[in-house]
Amino acid sequence: MNDTMQFEIRDRVGFLTLNRPDKLNALVPDMAEGFIEALAKCAEPGVKALVLRGSGRGFCAGGDIGWMMQGLKEGRIEEMKELLNLGVRVSHGLKTLPKPVIAVIHGPAAGAGMSLALSADIRIATPDAKLSMAFVKIGLHPDWGGSVMLNMLVNPAIALELMLTGEGIDAKRAFDLGLVNQIVDAEVLDDVIKFLCVRLAHGPAEAFSRIKQSALRNAGHTSESLLALLEEEGRQMAATIQGDDAREGLMAFLEKRAPKFA
């Protein structure tokens, strides 16, 4: 695992930390090994839960816009598709992992960062957390499971509002919508996480697994149908990112100006 990710198992709980703090933990293909290794190790019998966090000032700013723009300029479309495929694998892996997954959200969770958080089972946010389906602001379609998970968590009208406007919501509105389970002050966050981890570490592994299967089934999905939805979402993003609006949106973001879409 390279230094873009940190992973350790403590007291039967896996802790995966996105570790690109200078880029607000923006997602790049180099993080693939870390995600895949963490999912594999957390699937082993000795691990009871997984905690997902971001280092530095925020949880995750989504895809690395600079990397994406450079990839478009150089025609590295296959590399960009690899990142989308990783998102499918990670989102599906988190949702079908037979262990509870907790996302700890502080600061921005934007674009694929919000998508990543939504793939967890429990989300704990600090008061400064801000979640946004920001894709549309740069002419893109949601990825990393965002459109799929959002529609599993809120009513379709709210899901569409968040995706079509891309506007950020604070921790309070996210809590009111049911997108986060708790809002916890930063000063006591580690204590709250520790308490929850101790509880899960001593919990019944088989029951956890069956509860997650039931939750997925009660949402109308099987592992296979969920994978199909995630793959189709990825195809929509792959098509969108090659369009003129996406190029304009990405360039405008990097130039810190408002985009001029067709």
* 32: nearest Cα among 100, 117, 89: 89
pLDDT at 124: 98
- Domain 5-186+226-255 annotated CATH 3.90.226.10: yes
pLDDT at 233: 97
- Ranges under pLDDT 50 in the chain: none
pLDDT at 135: 97
pTM reported for the whole predicted model: 0.96
> Do 238 and 227 form a contact (C-beta atoms < 8 A)?
no
pLDDT at 257: 94
pLDDT at 2: 80
pLDDT at 248: 94
pLDDT at 154: 97
pLDDT at 128: 98
